[in-house]
Amino acid sequence: MINPFSRLRQRYLLLVNDKILLIIFLLHLLLIICHISQNYLSDIQYYWYLRAGGCGIIAFLIFFCGRKGLSYGLTIYACALIYVNTFYNYGSIFFILVAMGANPKRQIPIAVIFLINVIISFSLKQLIVISFIIQLTYAALFYLCMKYVFKVHAPEKLNLTDDEKKILQELSKGKLQKEIDLFSEQTITHKMKSARERNMCNSTAELVEKFKKEINI
């Protein structure tokens, strides 16, 4: 049985090793404080509890799920905001596009989930069809602009747990996964899948090659 404190330490180390994701995590914690403070220091009504809660969910998921957690959290937040924001507020679109970029393999499901929530929200608000068209047009526009201007880069340095490093050490020696005695074959498969996704590698072979270069094999 996995020690829960060991798992927390592992998640902490993975987050600390990913400097940009760590900053994103800390900024969400700062936003929670700011949204709560804004509520008590002003009389502006802007659903502070939804925004503070959304930032809390994102920070929580980042800590436990890393990059994918950022994607899941932003998807939840974007879909929640669409129910309280006006149709000409495009913050939700930006969040959902970042969510799609943080989890490329789930782009279509994320887009569909957002679209369903837009339809429900706009129906509840009894908005005319042109409002829906405006929202979708901006979504397509922002998506194309981000694809045109930005490109996702894989991390320069691998972010790995101690267990993943041990497995990659064995794979670097030419062993097959089923020949490694450190863990069960199913556990090794799961750990390698997590390592590939975290380090944006398309295959275990690509991950092994990057690992070998990093340790100068």
Contacts 24+ apart (CB under 8 A), 192-198: 192/164, 192/167, 194/164, 195/158, 195/160, 195/161, 195/164, 195/168, 197/67, 197/68, 198/14, 198/66, 198/67, 198/159
The one-letter amino acid at 179: E
The one-letter amino acid at 162: D
What separation in angstroms does the CA of 24 have from each of 69, 101, 165, 192?
12, 15, 26, 25
pLDDT on residue 7: 87
Is the CB of residue 90 less than 8 Å from the CB of residue 138? yes
Place of tokens 């998640």: 11
pLDDT on residue 1: 55
173/137 Cα distance (integer angstroms): 52
Per-domain boundaries in the chain: 4-149, 162-214
From the number of C-beta atoms within 10 Å of its C-beta (0-12, 13-18, 19+), residue 128 rates as exposed
Classify the C-alpha dihedral 136-138-143-144 as positive or negative. Answer: positive
pTM above 0.85, yes or no: yes
In tens digits, the chain (217 residues) has pLDDT values of 557 788 899 999 999 999 999 999 999 999 999 999 999 999 888 899 999 999 999 999 999 999 999 999 999 999 999 999 999 999 999 999 999 999 988 999 999 999 999 999 999 999 999 999 999 999 999 999 988 888 777 778 999 999 999 999 999 999 998 889 989 989 999 999 999 999 999 999 999 999 999 987 5
The one-letter amino acid at 96: I
Calculate the CA dihedral of residues 152, 158, 163, 164 and round it to 10 degrees.
Answer: 60
